């Protein structure tokens, strides 16, 4: 194997395509769509579907895309830090140990954002008639039965909504920070190891 080939890592198309579509969806919801608007919610559902595909791929995909290939561990992360200090480079078939920590941190953040987003937005109705009508009837029934209980219920759900909104926003801000560190890590690793990690993730490669 030539030196150049040895430096090359190949990510399969599912990893590459899900990476860039997730990145685009995050970018869209962070700076283009209006918070809580219909486009924001639809981009959000798209993001949830793509992430689900990538996570499924972590169980059934090719060896280097599987969770077992880059399961994070403090021991491996510390060994990796020592390598950085001593200037030695180990070639990892999958994400390197610090990169793996970052990948799981980003995924966890995305899952919190998706869960709180869906809890706020609800599951989209298949048809208008299927949702609105029934919901209105249910509210009317509530009105007739117990007015005070309804009021208390509204306050509780208002507080729950606030918690969801706060959690959604904090997780989004944490995600932005992780993404900056992620990009810095990619550039650092490219310089340090000489591996073209960005080329391996390029959506244009076959
Ligand atoms: C919203 C922005 C982004 C998010 C949420 C994100 C998230 C992720 C995630 C979750 C992975 C793991 C991929 C997998 O195994 O499926 C990853 C890998 C990677 N990302 Fe990003 N990313 C973003 C932006 C970027 C940008 C702008 C670059 C270019 C500098 C980049 C370069 C890479 C590379 C090269 C890898 C592979 C690292 C390795 O070889 O171990 N990412 N990213
Ligand atoms: C990574 C992707 C996402 C980012 C960066 C993001 C970011 C945000 C931000 C910053 C807000 C404003 C929070 C506030 O006003 O306190 C917001 C609101 C909202 N987001 Fe997202 N979001 C994302 C994904 C989602 C998803 C997946 C859904 C649902 C499917 C969703 C549904 C909502 C809703 C319903 C609101 C309105 C909350 C309210 O003011 O009542 N978002 N989002």
Q: How confident is the model at residue 24 (pLDDT cuts 50, 70, 90)?
A: very high
**pLDDT at res. 144:** 43
Ligand 1 pocket check: which of 23, 64, 110, 172 to mutate, most ligand atoms within 8 Å of Cβ? 23
- Rounded to the nearest angstrom, the distance between the alpha carbon of 193 and the centre of ligand 2 is 37
Q: Which atom of ligand 1 is nearest to the CA of 201?
A: 35
- Rounded to the nearest angstrom, the distance between the alpha carbon of 31 and the centre of ligand 1 is 19
Tokens of 18: 């899900």
Among 40-49, 55-64, 84-93, which stretch is predicted with the lowest mean pLDDT?
84-93
Q: Is 128 helix (H, G, I), strand (E, B) or coil?
A: helix
- Atom 43 of ligand 2, residue of closest alpha carbon: 35
**Local structure of residue 124 (DSSP, 8 states):** P
State the average pLDDT for the chain.
85
Residue 165: count other Cβ atoms within 10 Å of its Cβ. 16
Alpha-carbon span 178 to 112, nearest angstrom: 14
Alpha-carbon span 74 to 179, nearest angstrom: 21
Q: How confident is the model at residue 65 (pLDDT cuts 50, 70, 90)?
A: very high
Q: Which atom of ligand 1 is nearest to the CA of 54?
A: 16
Tell me the average pLDDT across 66-89: 94
**pLDDT at res. 173:** 98
pLDDT single digits (tens) 131-183: 443 443 333 444 444 555 566 666 767 888 899 999 999 999 999 999 999 99
Q: How far is CA 3 from CA 83, 194, 195, in A?
A: 21, 11, 11
Q: What's the farthest any 2 CA atoms get from each other in the chain?
A: 78
Q: How confident is the model at residue 193 (pLDDT cuts 50, 70, 90)?
A: confident
Q: What angle do CA 32, 42, 171 make, to 5 degrees?
A: 65
pLDDT single digits (tens) 93-144: 899 999 999 999 999 999 999 999 999 998 766 555 444 434 433 334 444 4
- Atom 24 of ligand 2, residue of closest alpha carbon: 44
Topology of the domain covering 3-124+133-200: Fumarate Reductase Cytochrome B subunit (1.20.950)
Q: Which ligand is in closest contact with the Cα of 170?
A: 2
With a CB cutoff of 8 Å and minimum separation 6, the contacts of 11 are: 19, 64, 65, 200, 201
- Atom 24 of ligand 1, residue of closest alpha carbon: 23
Give the side-chain half-sphere CA count within 13 A for 142: 13
**pLDDT at res. 142:** 45
């Amino acid at each position: 194997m030539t030196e150049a080939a040895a430096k090359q890592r190949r990510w399969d198309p599912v990893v590459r395509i899900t990476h860039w579509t997730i990145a685009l969806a995050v970018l869209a919801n962070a700076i283009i769509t209006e918070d809580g608007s219909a486009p924001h919610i639809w981009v959000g559902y798209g993001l949830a579907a793509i992430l689900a595909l990538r996570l499924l791929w972590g169980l059934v995909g090719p060896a280097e895309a599987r969770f077992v290939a880059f399961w994070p561990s403090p021991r491996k992360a510390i060994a990796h830090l020592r390598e950085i200090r001593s200037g030695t480079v180990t070639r990892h078939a999958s994400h390197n140990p610090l990169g793996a920590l970052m990948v799981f941190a980003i995924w966890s953040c995305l899952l919190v954002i998706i869960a709180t987003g869906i809890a706020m937005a609800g599951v989209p109705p298949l048809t208008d008639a299927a949702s609105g009508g029934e919901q209105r009837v249910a509210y009317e029934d509530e009105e007739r039965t117990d007015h005070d209980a309804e009021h208390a219920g509204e306050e509780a759900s208002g507080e729950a909504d606030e918690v969801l909104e706060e959690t959604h926003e904090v997780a989004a801000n944490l995600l932005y920070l992780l993404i900056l560190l992620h990009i810095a890590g990619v550039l650092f690793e490219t310089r340090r190891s000489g591996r073209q990690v960005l080329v391996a993730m390029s959506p244009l490669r076959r």
